[in-house]
């Protein structure tokens, strides 16, 4: 089993804005594409065109409809991947030491050559962020695109996780959450960023920005009324005669 480092030099992670995410799944597609072609074993699919398709994904988007006691219903899209916890139970439970947390940046990774696919890390993770790749028999998880963010062959703007680079709504942010002066730390402080399930005591690095309250709709106001207002006057001349003639048919 692997011990967790007492502290890390940085705490790289994601800040996800639940108010901005539109649930387009672009992050899911880009993550699948990048991690199938690069780091570790490819992310396999089983019966992708069959009656019961399944596959391995490092990032998934769940959608929930909130129905508050007052005000309109609200649809919230909730992306979920590994949160790279400071007290990651998936690391300490691993019997072979395949799961580990890096000292230099706090990223939690899996050494796939040492993974035996026992699934203990998946049982230990309270977020369901680990998946067993059935084709390779190893556990897979978000790597924060570690093979991308340090790749000096890429342009500077591309040295961030594929999901962040792809998000069309700008709902995903990447940076050092251990640096109080970083852009992501300032965003968390400004918007009241939250931990996912803090009662688990895992101290996740990734943060979520809560949805902003939506505007209240006055039930006494008919919002369709402007759309039902006639847009043209009664036709005159030849068009008026033609309209009356057609009505008699």
pLDDT value of residue 227: 65
SS3 60: strand
In 3D space, the residue among 163, 162, 175 whose CA is nearest the CA of residue 205 turns out to be 175
pLDDT value of residue 66: 83
User: What digits encode the pLDDT tens for the residues 148-167?
Assistant: 999 999 999 999 999 999 99
pTM recorded for the entire structure: 0.82
- What are the structure tokens assigned to 129, written together? 């962020």
Give the span between the Cα atoms of 46 and 56, in whole angstroms: 9
Task: Give residues with Cβ within 8 angstroms of 211, minimum separation 6.
Answer: 18, 19, 74, 76
- What are the structure tokens assigned to 130, written together? 């680990």
Give the span between the Cα atoms of 230 and 90, in whole angstroms: 64
- What are the structure tokens assigned to 143, written together? 């790597």
SS3 217: coil
Give the span between the Cα atoms of 82 and 88, in whole angstroms: 10
The tally of CA atoms less than 13 A away on the side-chain side of residue 199 is 0
Confirm if 87 and 101 have CB atoms less than 8 A apart.
no
pLDDT value of residue 228: 64
Give the span between the Cα atoms of 42 and 135, in whole angstroms: 9
In 3D space, the residue among 67, 59, 62, 66 whose CA is nearest the CA of residue 77 turns out to be 62
Give the span between the Cα atoms of 142 and 121, in whole angstroms: 14
pLDDT value of residue 192: 95
10-residue block means of pLDDT along the chain (249 residues)? 88 97 96 89 92 94 86 88 97 96 97 95 96 95 96 95 97 97 97 96 97 63 62 73 81
Q: Please name the helix (run of DSSP H) or strand (run of DSSP E) that holds residue 225, with its range, or none.
A: helix 225-228
pLDDT value of residue 216: 53
Give the span between the Cα atoms of 182 and 221, in whole angstroms: 45
Q: Phi and psi (nearest 5°) for 141?
A: -160, 165
Neighbours of 28 (CB within 10 A): 18
Task: Give residues with Cβ within 8 angstroms of 84, minimum separation 6.
Answer: 11, 12, 13, 101, 106, 107, 108, 142, 144, 204, 205, 206
Neighbours of 125 (CB within 10 A): 23
Residue range 12-209 in CATH 3.40.50.450: no
């Amino acid at each position: 089993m692997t011990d967790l480092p007492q502290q890390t030099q940085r705490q790289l992670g994601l800040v996800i804005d639940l108010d901005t995410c539109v649930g387009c799944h672009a992050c899911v597609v880009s993550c699948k594409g990048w991690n199938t072609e690069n780091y570790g074993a490819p992310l396999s699919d089983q019966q992708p065109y069959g009656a019961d398709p399944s596959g391995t994904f490092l990032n998934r988007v769940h959608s929930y409809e909130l129905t508050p006691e007052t005000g309109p219903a609200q649809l919230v899209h909730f992306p979920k991947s590994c949160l790279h916890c400071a007290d990651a139970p998936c690391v300490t439970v691993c019997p072979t030491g395949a799961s580990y947390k890096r000292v230099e940046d706090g990223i939690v990774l899996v050494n796939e050559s040492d993974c035996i696919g026992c699934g203990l890390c998946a049982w230990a993770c309270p977020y369901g962020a680990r998946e067993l790749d059935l084709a390779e028999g190893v556990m897979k998880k978000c790597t924060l695109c570690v093979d991308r963010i340090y790749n000096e062959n890429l342009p500077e703007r591309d040295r961030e996780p594929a999901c962040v680079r792809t998000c069309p709504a700008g709902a995903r942010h990447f940076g050092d959450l251990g640096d109080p002066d970083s852009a992501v730390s300032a965003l968390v402080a400004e918007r009241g960023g939250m931990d996912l399930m803090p009662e688990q005591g895992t101290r996740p690095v990734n943060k979520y920005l809560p949805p902003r309250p939506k505007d209240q709709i006055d039930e006494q106001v008919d919002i369709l009324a402007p759309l039902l207002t006639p847009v043209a006057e009664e036709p005159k001349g030849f068009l008026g005669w033609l309209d009356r003639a057609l009505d008699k048919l």
